[in-house]
Structure 1
């Protein structure tokens, strides 16, 4: 294994961390919006969304930590290989790959929760649409 092998992961991990940061920023915006709505009026939907957002924030933190740890291990792997400590470099690179995989698993889990949160929102919109539609027997103008 050469010094360039772990270096190949640098752009991928960097882009992954950028994507995670963007997810975090979107979650922060959603939480602020939800907090404002909750101050204005209490909705059952908000309670469910808050629970899902709390889980998503926790998972986002974990996937960011695992991603940063993977990046650090990859850097240490390159340093070990630079010092001609091939076995240490290979082990560090292997652990870096494992932590990157853990980060991706957390990301998949967060995506699943995000999809569930969207389904909660869609269900509420559908319920509102059903309740606001005129019934078949009720026509406007007929009394």
Structure 2
């Protein structure tokens, strides 16, 4: 079996950091949209906003789990480096494997969230097209 070195988990730092930045940007965008929809709903009490709010709630929840799995993956990469440093190589290999699995889960959730976002935007575009055709 190939030896795991300190540089292997360290390579994921920049990738995970960029992913976390993207996740945080998504989270902040959803927060702004939700605050805006909340204000609109309080003014109009329009039931058509309920579906949008549910959709955003689901996407926000997915983004939260994406962040949790991504951060945990990063923490396990740091733990892996520490375990390598104290020469606990077998444990380091297992912890690094778990870190990779958590990163895969995080990215899988991102794919699901993108599908939901794309579907929601498609519905908005369809509404606009229907309105233009009438």
TM-score (ref. length: structure 2): 0.91
Q: 1:115 aligns with which of 93, 118, 130?
A: 118
Q: 1:33 aligns with which of 28, 36, 55?
A: 36
Where does structure 2 lack aligned partners over 5 or more consecutive residues? none
Rg comparison, structure with higher value: 1
Q: Cα gap change, 1:121/1:128 in structure 2, threshold over 3 Å: closer, same or farther? A: same
C-alpha contact (below 8 Å) 1:63/1:107 kept by paired residues: yes
TM-score (ref. length: structure 1): 0.86
Instruction: Choose between structure 1 and 2: higher helix proportion.
Output: 2
The number of residues matched between the two structures is 131
What secondary structure is seen at the aligned counterpart in 2 of 1:128?
Answer: helix
Where does structure 1 lack aligned partners over 5 or more consecutive residues? 132-143
Shift of 1:48: 1.7
Deviates more, 1:117-126 or 1:104-113: 117-126
Deviation string, structure 1 residues 41-95 (Cα, Å, up to 9, x no partner): 2445422211110110110011000001100111100000011111111111111
CA-atom RMSD, angstroms?
1.3
Aligned to 1:137: none
Aligned to 1:20: 23
Find out whether 1:62 has 2:65 as its counterpart. Answer: yes
Shift of 1:114: 0.6
**Off by >3 Å, runs of 4+ in structure 1:** 42-45
Alpha-carbon distance between aligned partners in 2 of 1:45 and 1:15, rounded to the nearest angstrom: 36
